[in-house]
Amino acid sequence: MFDNVKLIFGKTIDTLKKKLNGMKKPIKMVIVGYFMLVVLLVVTYYSAWLYQGYNGQIVMSDLLAVIKEMIGPAMIGFMTFIAGCFIDMDNNGIPDKFEEDKTHEKGKLR
């Protein structure tokens, strides 16, 4: 059973690595940074839970609220917006989101 889980987990990690390597560097840094932040918060939560459990007083509502906020829809939307600001399909050094704003400004009647 554990061999099947290991095989599936390994294939998933390989697929994620291939997709991540295909992305541009700024987007890759945003995604990896956000993932590391979430992992750090979860590890902190479990470490604090174990520490408080050892001392006989488990009160983790505040840290759990922070974790819920960091992985909630608002933060995912914010990270999607930030990552979208780095997309440059025509490779001219200006993100497409900002070029789009300039073309709309040029098309306005005065």
> pLDDT (tens digit, 9 = 90+) per residue, 27-81?
777 778 888 888 888 888 888 888 888 887 877 787 778 778 888 888 888 888 8
**Residue 14: pLDDT band with limits 50, 70, 90:** confident
What percentage of the chain reaches a pLDDT higher than 70?
87
Q: Which of 16-20, 79-83, 104-108 has the highest mean predicted lDDT (pLDDT)?
A: 79-83
Average pLDDT, the chain: 77
**Tell me, what's the pLDDT at 102?**
60
**Tell me, what's the pLDDT at 106?**
59
- In SS3 terms, the chain reads as CHHHHHHHHHHHHHHHHHHHHCCCHHHHHHHHHHHHHHHHHHHHHHHHHHHHHHHCCCCCHHHHHHHHHHCCHHHHHHHHHHHHCCCCCCCCCCCHHHHHHHHHHHCCCC
- Of residues 27 and 11, the one with the higher pLDDT is 11
